[in-house]
């Protein structure tokens, strides 16, 4: 089995700091997690908030904390540090090899889409962001880990793409993309969604945009070689 | 400008846990760092050690600590936690946009190779690993950040590849690879080195193997899209 992760990310047009942050963390008992946070506002303050959130989450996951506890602890941390005045979204997608499940945790106004052998499900129940309410619960979902699955999530800037120009992000575009593609196309899927959103914004992103995709496929090579590739424009 | 990072990693043959750990951390004042640790021994204990080391380093870097302080603090942490009984290597390669420099920190028996406009330099001065001596200093190097640079480092398993089979890792292979390739080939360079080492070990890695490569090139796209791709066999 092989987990493929694709991430594509861009800043709000003409703003040098990106308020979205993403981290990847290896799970000590096997597996990997992708963490996405969108900090309140934009620019440096938002970047600092979301960076705080994903770093805290990544280090807790790497220490072996379970995802539900991670989301709660990171909320409490942000609430304590910022006195309940700064919010952030938090989405965690995990492939847990120990329990052989896919796990995801949402505190975001953006959905998680899951393609499995039984079709495509959209998880978009309303839930609060972290950091601002005294009591907060993440929306957690767990399902058996199976080859063929694809999970997608993204930040606000994707969902709202085109809105200021009177255009609407066509959700069917996402569904068609999921239907047509395989788990090993995780990178292609992430880039296609970002490109589509940028087009809607005439290539001048109205907000920070991030797409995260996780695909579960058969192992490509028998040497178990792990590969990471990063392009970091600056 | 664009920073390209390529990482390729495999486990010791027939061992399920990898004692090497790698993390990528974004620098809050701009730039990106790659952190490589090789924990003492192999299997789960080594994995836990190196994971502790890279996670601590990544979270300190993300909080804005300077690299020299990070290496020292991570040493002190490991020394305190494991009572000075467990060692780990630690290598940090950083592109620091704030100071416009390339920075790297070595506590490893493996070298850092740097290709710049002035040729190829090999940094392989002897230095202790972290975790076991009361006082420890990282070997730090800093140089101007310039398009065209490539940095390479790797773990012990690469350096020692083939040794048990009476073969020697040909250092000239690395030099030729560096000469022939461009910064944007970071992923290709990392995979080529890992493949070469695996060949020397008859495709049964005698130790955990990790290669990290950082290349500085002209920006490929003007939309400033950040891309991350991960293949995680399990």
**Contact status, residue B127 vs residue B75, Cβ threshold 8 Å:** no
Within 15-44 of B, beta carbons closer than 8 Å to A belong to 21-22, 24, 26, 28, 30-32
Q: From first to last of the 234 residues of chain B, give the pLDDT tens digit.
A: 999 999 999 999 988 888 999 999 999 999 999 999 999 988 899 999 999 999 999 999 999 999 999 999 999 999 999 999 999 999 999 999 999 999 999 999 999 999 999 999 999 999 999 999 988 999 999 999 999 999 999 999 999 999 999 999 999 999 999 999 999 999 999 999 999 999 999 999 999 999 999 999 999 777 789 999 999 998
Chain A residues within an 8 Å CB radius of B203? 223
Given this model, what pLDDT does residue B234 score? 86
- CB nearest to A225's CB, from B9, B32, B226: B9
At A180, which helix (H) or strand (E)?
Answer: helix A171-180
Q: B227, A227: Cβ pair inside 8 Å?
A: no
Residue of B nearest to A190 (CA): B227
**Contact status, residue A97 vs residue B234, Cβ threshold 8 Å:** yes
Q: B230, A24: Cβ pair inside 8 Å?
A: yes
Low-confidence spans in chain A with pLDDT less than 70: none
Q: Is B217 on the interface with A (CB under 8 A)?
A: no
Q: Is A221 on the interface with B (CB under 8 A)?
A: yes
Distances B3 to A170, B8, B56, B148 between C-alpha atoms, Å: 33, 17, 23, 10
- CB nearest to B2's CB, from A48, A198, A232: A232
Within 58-87 of A, beta carbons closer than 8 Å to B belong to 58-59, 62-63
Chain A residues within an 8 Å CB radius of B190? 227
Rounded to the nearest angstrom, the minimum Cα separation between B121 and chain A is 24
Q: ipTM greater than 0.90, yes or no? A: yes
Given this model, what pLDDT does residue B16 score? 84
What percentage of chain A exceeds 90 in pLDDT?
Answer: 92
What order of strands is seen across the sheet that includes strand B20-26?
Answer: B20-26, B31-39, B88-96, B101-107, B139-144
Q: Is B50 on the interface with A (CB under 8 A)?
A: no
Given this model, what pLDDT does residue A221 score? 72
Q: A28, B47: Cβ pair inside 8 Å?
A: yes
pLDDT per residue over B22-67, tens digit each?
999 999 999 999 999 999 988 899 999 999 999 999 999 999 999 9
Q: A232, B224: Cβ pair inside 8 Å?
A: no
Domains of chain A, start order? 2-217 (3.60.40.10)
CA distance B153 to B104: 10
Q: B28, A22: Cβ pair inside 8 Å?
A: no
Q: How many CA atoms does the CB half-sphere of A169 hold within 13 Å?
A: 23
- CB nearest to A229's CB, from B6, B22, B223: B6
Chain A residues within an 8 Å CB radius of B102? none
Given this model, what pLDDT does residue A43 score? 86
Rounded to the nearest angstrom, the minimum Cα separation between A52 and chain B is 8
**Contact status, residue A143 vs residue A102, Cβ threshold 8 Å:** yes
pLDDT per residue over A43-84, tens digit each?
899 999 999 999 999 999 999 999 999 999 999 999 999 999
Q: Is B203 on the interface with A (CB under 8 A)?
A: yes
């Amino acid at each position: 089995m092989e987990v493929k992760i694709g991430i594509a990310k861009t800043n709000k047009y003409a703003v040098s700091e990106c308020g979205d942050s993403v981290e990847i963390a290896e799970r000590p008992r096997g597996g990997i997690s992708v963490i996405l946070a969108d900090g309140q506002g934009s620019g440096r303050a938002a970047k600092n908030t979301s960076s705080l959130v994903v770093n805290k989450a990544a280090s807790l996951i790497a220490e072996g904390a379970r995802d539900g506890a991670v989301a709660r602890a990171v909320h409490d941390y942000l609430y304590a540090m910022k006195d309940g005045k700064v919010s952030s979204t938090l989405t965690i997608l995990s492939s847990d090899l120990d329990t052989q499940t896919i796990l995801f945790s949402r505190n975001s106004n953006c959905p998680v889409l899951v393609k499995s052998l039984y079709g495509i499900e959209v998880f978009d129940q309303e839930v609060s962001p972290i950091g601002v309410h005294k009591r907060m619960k993440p929306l957690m979902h767990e399902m058996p880990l199976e080859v063929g699955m694809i999970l997608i999530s993204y930040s606000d800037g994707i969902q709202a793409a085109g809105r200021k120009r009177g255009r609407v992000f066509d959700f069917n575009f996402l569904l068609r993309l999921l239907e047509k593609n395989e788990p090993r196309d995780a990178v292609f899927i992430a880039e296609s969604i970002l490109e589509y959103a940028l087009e809607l914004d005439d290539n001048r992103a109205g907000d920070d945009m991030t797409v995260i995709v996780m695909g579960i496929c058969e192992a490509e090579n028998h040497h178990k070689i792990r590969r990471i590739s990063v392009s970091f424009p600056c």
